[in-house]
Structure 1
């Protein structure tokens, strides 16, 4: 049974593997994405409220089902260079860029809410893909093992075969599905509290696997390992009644069991290793204001990578494996505007800013997770088909706004004065743009006339 459930989850959510805020999905659903992901104090739909502030679901008085599916496109590029002499005495320097050929990712999200007018209690359930990363950088054809190798042509040394001191074909695939039950209680007609226990399913695949010990054959490739994690989220929501709304939420660290990889080396030997990677705690503050046909939303978030297993540590272990990503805490600013002046056709505009979690000195360790986005822009709309049905859509575009760059690192070059083994004169960098089209459908269950049911 566990295997069947895992396979279903992988089928539905494993392609949702490109994030925008560190390795965190920027938002959930077409409405929330179109508002730049701001929803902590301005719950325009159930998906945004369920994801960012469980207390905010108290604003809904109906039974609502929400399904969103998006197509996500990304274009990461990996560049690197080595100085003259690194490939042998008198050899020229080499440099090149490799483009990702991963293709399109699918992003499904599902939410359901039970609300009742006049009740102080509201319940919700959701299954959201909330995190992921993934790249596919093919092996460099123009490499020193090729008899036609020309170092004067474009040549990316990071994608040289491992026998030529590169990584060869680089591929990663990480996804995190969060299934939650939410509960909100209205303390007064203006103030609500919420709680949300979470169960998480994650899958991770690395090629090659830098968390494993290398042998003379290099680093191994891994199968797709899975892990189960648990955590919670707590929220407060205040609606003044005259347009101003305030919200706050805290998502605890989602603690996972260790990923256990079955590794295969290039010489067909095998081994296993374990790697701990949790999901970071997130603190969100929100401000909302509604007047006439205008809804405004502003969220600030702080993501605690520095106290999260898998991200807090970095560097080489004594056996030359990688200890972790070495990320810093990040700040996220999300802003959105909704205009409702067109009958049945609300329009939305959103912007999101993300700081970069990757310090320059550990750029090399983060090649499998290059989805670092700084500026995101969104435009969305909805069409109110009738009192029950609504169709939502959003277009998203985002860019790194400059490459994340550093030096190539090697455990063979590590020393007391150079603990990460930085190679002088070398470079590694990556940047990317992303775009997405998402469509959502919302169904509001109609209240039955009690007299009709007599």
Structure 2
């Protein structure tokens, strides 16, 4: 019987992340997204430079304001299978399987950037306010999917998360010579998080609680080096330190109405980027590689159950990201761009269960973008993005009471939980150059 599904499903846990490269946006703004996020060694616009290599803003010789707004759509799906048990507590040999589609809809992505520069000066300054992570997921309660059955019936009910990270950066770049620039950028971060249910808090007799929307402040920095040759070759290296956050302080409400508080720290991982670029005639090529250090980041480094059945951490692996893009400038006032992004999966199969609904781990992403140069001051940009997870992330359902019998996390025999998804996005941008100075040669 469905109501006799294995009781430990009540201990199902979920985490908050909903983005593309783990919980890191692959690019910022329509131009940078259309190049697959590559900008460390090929800065085509100020947003990409400010996000991935502060030294690269030295390539812009005019004051520029840029605004981008995107509309992001996703189609995650959650699957689970559990063995059914009879009145005697023994498995019947039958299984109960189902799936649930997300019904959240779209999310808005705003980005604002500004560059202060002067032709002939060795100094360039920048300001950025980027939503570098800010999505959520909603899997409604269901009687046909074990994971989403009501907590009173051994499932987890409605699974919902709402997470946003806004990063404000103040950048400075200095030209050591005509070929070399260095840059530094202190970052100030603001994040909000709401969870239903909350796996970072222990359950009571009625299940796991839901939270209010908690917020936390963070800080970090980014450093970069940029090189530009005389024959079109460019290269860049940058390092964004771990963004250290204060604790999220949750006010929890259990299904039976009881309340409790708990704290949880979740930092943003350090990112190392190296990029190459080459410009020839009407073509610009860009290639970036990024290494994301989840394994030394609070909230991700630890994994497993605590002694009171809450989650110690989410156990993510370090990941690699490869971004590539090409721009064609052969059509008057209408640059065209193609981009591709590859992301490895940070979630090991043995902890898939801990990371519902971390469904936005997109393995392959494809972008097409273009710009329209209205005049010497105004530019309009656009991009379309499509991504897919290239198969399911899957693993066993886990139960802390089974940890001794099935170490290390208590995998329930013959059970499975998995998720996959596709994403799409339309983003439009507009930029204005406040002076008529000429951008440094590509």
Alignment partner, residue 92 of structure 1? 94
1:216 and 1:242 map into 2 onto residues whose CA distance is 69
| Aligned pair partner of 1:102 in 88, 101, 104 | 104
| Aligned pair partner of 2:314 in 321, 325, 329 | 325
1:407 and 1:417 map into 2 onto residues whose CA distance is 11
| Aligned pair partner of 1:202 in 156, 166, 191 | 191
Alignment partner, residue 14 of structure 2? none
Matches within 5 A, 1:10-409: 18-85=18-85, 90=92, 92-140=94-142, 142=143, 155-409=144-398
**Which digits, 9 at most, give the CA deviation of each residue in 1:273-302, with x for residues without a partner?**
010100000000000000000000000000
Alignment partner, residue 7 of structure 1? none
1:172 and 1:80 map into 2 onto residues whose CA distance is 19
- Structure 2: runs of 5+ lacking an equivalent: 1-16, 438-442
1:84 and 1:164 map into 2 onto residues whose CA distance is 13
Q: Is the 8 A contact 1:31 1:394 kept in 2?
A: yes
1:253 and 1:262 map into 2 onto residues whose CA distance is 27
1:416 and 1:408 map into 2 onto residues whose CA distance is 14
Displacement of 1:92 in angstroms is 3.0
1:417 and 1:171 map into 2 onto residues whose CA distance is 29
1:447 and 1:227 map into 2 onto residues whose CA distance is 41
Q: Is the 8 A contact 1:23 1:133 kept in 2?
A: no
2:372 and 2:134 map into 1 onto residues whose CA distance is 30
Alignment partner, residue 452 of structure 1? none
Displacement of 1:416 in angstroms is 6.1
2:278 and 2:105 map into 1 onto residues whose CA distance is 39
1:301 and 1:53 map into 2 onto residues whose CA distance is 12
Number of aligned residues: 419
2:244 and 2:26 map into 1 onto residues whose CA distance is 21
Alignment partner, residue 11 of structure 2? none
1:130 and 1:86 map into 2 onto residues whose CA distance is 48
Aligned to 2:305, what secondary structure does the other structure show?
Answer: coil
**Which digits, 9 at most, give the CA deviation of each residue in 1:427-451, with x for residues without a partner?**
0000000000000001000249xxx
**Which digits, 9 at most, give the CA deviation of each residue in 1:308-328, with x for residues without a partner?**
000111110000001111100
Aligned to 1:112, what secondary structure does the other structure show?
Answer: strand
**Which digits, 9 at most, give the CA deviation of each residue in 1:29-78, with x for residues without a partner?**
00000000000010000000000000000000000000000000000000
Displacement of 1:132 in angstroms is 3.5
1:436 and 1:299 map into 2 onto residues whose CA distance is 21
Q: Is the 8 A contact 2:18 2:359 kept in 1?
A: no
Q: Is the 8 A contact 2:199 2:208 kept in 1?
A: yes
**Which digits, 9 at most, give the CA deviation of each residue in 1:100-143, with x for residues without a partner?**
00100000000000011100000000000112342100001x2x
Aligned to 1:93, what secondary structure does the other structure show?
Answer: strand
- TM-score, normalised to structure 1's length? 0.91
Superposition RMSD on alpha carbons, in Å?
Answer: 1.3
User: Mean alpha-carbon deviation: is it higher for 36-45 or for 83-92?
Assistant: 83-92
Aligned to 1:364, what secondary structure does the other structure show?
Answer: helix
Displacement of 1:333 in angstroms is 0.3
1:335 and 1:102 map into 2 onto residues whose CA distance is 30
- TM-score, normalised to structure 2's length? 0.93
Q: Is the 8 A contact 1:54 1:233 kept in 2?
A: yes
Q: Is the 8 A contact 2:32 2:48 kept in 1?
A: yes
2:193 and 2:313 map into 1 onto residues whose CA distance is 14
